[in-house]
Amino acid sequence: YAQNEDVLNLFSKNDIFYFLIKYQHFYMFPAMIVLGRVGILVDSWRHGASLFHWFGFALHWCIIAFVLSLCPDWYSRAIVYYMSSLGEGGLHIQLVTNHYLNCWDLDESIANDFVRWVYKSTHNIGGPAWFDWYHLGLNLHIEHHLFPKVSRTNLRKIRPRVQAFGKAHGLEYRELFPSEILPSLFRASARVAGLRQAGKV
């Protein structure tokens, strides 16, 4: 997924990549929902070399196998696994929104200004506090990046201060509500795809 034209320079310039970029706004959401879970598991497998990670990976699959064994037939198992993938796909879309919706300003002027870079490159996902359980607290990504040691349960408590700090220093506090996520991602990816089709990148 290429969210802005500046990022295209970071990828190899091959025909397959640029062909895929032209149509990313059509296949991106189904791919995130269907393959997002697999990608997260593969990443955890590749980077989880410690015994703790292996134990967690094995425990995850034991729980999945147990839950699926309770289903009466293969059709039910497929539906349960698919529905859980949809839920995890939603989290994957949220993470993409948090990190990749905004342009990553490759401008050197903010390279050494971490706080300004966080405000400029990160989005929060809005919604009521009771729905934080779904996002695992990571819907408040600006606060999470600025204060990574603060527990996720306390991110809402520091939110007013982070908003006030941004306002005082002219930094936009970006927040999208769930109904705005898909249209915003579609517009951003379609814009880059349009630039690619026009041969501008």
pLDDT tens for each residue of 77-93? 999 988 887 777 777 78
Contacts of 147 (CB under 8 A, 6+ apart): 155, 158
Q: 92-127: per-residue pLDDT in tens?
A: 787 777 777 776 655 656 556 888 888 888 888 888
Return d(Cα 177, Cα 125) in angstroms, integer.
Answer: 6
pLDDT value at residue 90? 77
* pTM of the shown model: 0.70
pLDDT in tens, 177-187: 888 888 888 88
What is the model's pLDDT at position 4?
67
| Mean pLDDT to the nearest integer, 140-161 | 92
What average pLDDT does the chain have? 81
Among 133, 191, 181, 197, CA closest to 6: 191
Among 144, 111, 104, CA closest to 125: 144
Element spanning 125, H or E: strand 124-125
